[in-house]
């Protein structure tokens, strides 16, 4: 590399007065600068890799090691092999939490993504006040997550809540939303749906705007109606965006924690109600590790959640490839 002008404030140590003009190229300065060019990229990416390895990857892998031990707050006990997993497979509370998590995942993901599709297709036309409308649908994601839990817990309260008030108007008896699986799942899923529908709608909207206009024009000429166009042109063309949102919602849904915990209130918060009717797997892991201080068993739960998430990701991917 030729150096035409030095912006370096340090004066060169060797001043090659009588030296031939090529000499600086092979001098220590040139070698230094070549080494700098070779090694600085690694230096630039090092902070990410070092911190991620220490505080992200290592704990995740070490979780598997801890799960093979009797391990509590006093430290590592005996190596017990797969004992924790054997116990886990026969643990009704764990499977109950898996069932609850999957139930809320379905109740929170399916309506959310369908509503987002409808919202996006409504937004995908010439409208007045475009920025206002987009900011309006995005308002929920700027609400603090615990605040969402607090507001909706009140709205779904048995005695003071607005939902029961509205149901009363059409002569439906008040529902004790916390008491049963289906009712509590509905209340919690409503929080998730409310918070994320607008965000997903914007992702779909961006994908829809990239669909070529002439596809629709040709379909109109062929006599296809709006609804037909939506299913035959829009949806197939935004498949990558749909896959992206399904995977992201699944990963987030499998880790659902804050909303049900706040919804629980009082003493039964971490167990998701007195009968564990809305305890998620993340809550169960937290209960085992940080309330019962059973690190070995908690790690087995964590590792199972990780495997479940991976499995669901693979299933999502395969299903989407099949239906192409």
Partner 1 sequence: MRRTHPLVYVTLLAGIVLSAFPLYWLFVVATRSNDVVGDWPPPLVPGPNLAENTGRLFEAEDANFALGLWNSLLSATVITVAVVFFSSLAGFAFAKLRFRGRNALLLVVLGTMMIPVQMGIIPLYMIMVELGWQNRMEAIIVPSLVSAFGVFLMRQYATQAIPDELIEAARIDGCGTFRVFWTVVLPGLRPGAAVLGLFTFMGAWNEFLWPLAVLEADNPTVQFSLSQLSTTYYTDYTLMFTGALVATVPLLLVFLAFGRQIIGGIMEGAVKA
Of 225-284, which residues contact partner 1 (CB under 8 A)?
240-241, 244, 247, 251, 254-255, 257-258, 261-262, 265-266, 269, 282
- Which part of the chain contacts partner 1 (CB under 8 A), choosing from 14-22, 40-48, 90-98, 179-187? 40-48
Q: How far is the CB of 115 from partner 1 (least distance, A)?
A: 8
We find the least distance from the C-beta atom of residue 213 to partner 1, in angstroms, to be 9
Q: What is the 3-state secondary structure (H, E, C) of 283-304?
A: HHHHHHHHHCCEHHHHHHHHHH
Listed ranges 60-68, 86-94, 95-103, 171-179: which one lies at the site for partner 1 (CB under 8 A): 60-68
Answer for which of 19, 37, 82, 179 binds partner 1 (CB under 8 A) is 37
79 DSSP β-pair partners: 69
Give the contact letters, 191-230, x = binds to partner 1 (CB under 8 A), - = no: ---x--xxx--xxxxxx--x--------------------
Q: Could you tell me where the beta strands, DSSP code E, fall in the chain?
A: 69-72, 75-79
Answer for which of 19, 51, 106, 315 binds partner 1 (CB under 8 A) is 51
Q: Is residue 292 near partner 1 by the rule CB under 8 A?
A: no
Question: Is 158:164 a contact under the CB 8 Å cutoff?
Answer: yes
306 near partner 1, judged by CB under 8 A: yes
Q: Judged by CB, which is closer to partner 1: 107, or 191?
A: 191
CB neighbour burial string for 270-298, b if at least 16 within 10 angstroms, e if fewer: bbbbeebbbbbbbbbbbbbbeeeebbbbb
Closest separation in Å from C-beta 6 to partner 1: 5
**Residue 279 backbone dihedrals phi, psi, to 5 degrees:** -80, 125
Residue number, 18 or 55, with CB nearest to partner 1 = 55
Side-chain half-sphere CA neighbours of 215 within 13 A: 16
The piece of 15-23, 90-98, 229-237, 302-310 that touches partner 1 (CB under 8 A) is: 302-310
Residues 130-159 that bind partner 1 (CB under 8 A): 131, 133-155, 157, 159
Interacting residues with partner 1 between 91 and 120 (CB under 8 A):
119
Task: Give least dist CB 99 to partner 1, A.
Answer: 19
Q: Under a CB-based contact definition with an 8 Å cutoff, are residues 121 and 234 in contact?
A: yes
How many angstroms separate the CA atoms of 316 and 322, rounded?
10
CA-wise closest residue to 67 among 53, 48, 81: 81
Number of neighbours of residue 188 by Cβ within 10 angstroms: 30
3-class DSSP state of 159 = coil
Angle at 232 between CA 228 and CA 237, to 5 degrees: 140
Least distance CB 106 / partner 1 (angstroms): 19
Asked if 278 and 190 count as a contact pair (C-beta separation under 8 A), the reply is no
Using CB under 8 A as the binding rule, whether residue 47 contacts partner 1 is answered as yes
């Amino acid at each position: 590399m030729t150096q035409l002008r030095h912006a370096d404030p340090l004066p060169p140590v060797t001043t090659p007065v009588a030296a031939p003009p090529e000499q600086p190229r092979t001098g220590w300065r040139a070698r230094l600068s070549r080494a700098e060019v070779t090694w600085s990229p690694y230096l630039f990416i090092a902070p990410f890799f070092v911190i991620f390895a220490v505080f992200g990857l290592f704990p995740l892998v070490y979780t598997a090691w801890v799960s093979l031990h009797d391990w509590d707050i006093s430290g590592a006990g005996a190596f017990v092999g797969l004992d924790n997993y054997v116990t886990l497979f026969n643990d009704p509370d764990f499977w109950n939490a898996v069932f609850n998590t999957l139930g809320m995942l379905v109740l929170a993901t399916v309506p959310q993504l369908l509503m987002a599709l409808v919202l996006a297709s409504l937004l995908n036309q010439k409208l007045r006040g475009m920025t206002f409308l987009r900011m309006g649908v995005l308002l929920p994601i700027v609400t603090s997550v615990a605040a969402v839990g607090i507001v909706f817990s009140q709205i779904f309260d048995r005695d003071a809540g607005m939902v029961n008030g509205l149901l009363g108007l059409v002569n439906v008896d008040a529902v004790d939303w916390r008491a049963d699986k289906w009712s509590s799942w509905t209340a919690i899923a409503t929080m998730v749906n409310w918070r994320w529908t607008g965000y997903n709608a914007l992702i779909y909207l961006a994908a829809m705007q990239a669909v070529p206009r002439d596809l629709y024009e040709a379909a109109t000429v062929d006599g296809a109606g709006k609804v037909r166009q939506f299913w035959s042109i829009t949806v197939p063309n935004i498949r990558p965006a749909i896959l992206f949102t399904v995977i992201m919602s699944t990963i987030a849904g499998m880790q659902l924690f804050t909303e049900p915990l706040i919804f629980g209130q009082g003493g039964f918060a971490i167990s998701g109600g007195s009968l564990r009717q809305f305890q998620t797997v993340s809550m169960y892991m937290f209960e085992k590790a940080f309330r019962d201080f059973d690190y070995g068993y908690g790690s087995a739960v964590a590792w199972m959640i990780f495997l479940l998430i991976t499995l669901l990701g693979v299933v999502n991917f395969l299903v989407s490839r099949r239906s192409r």
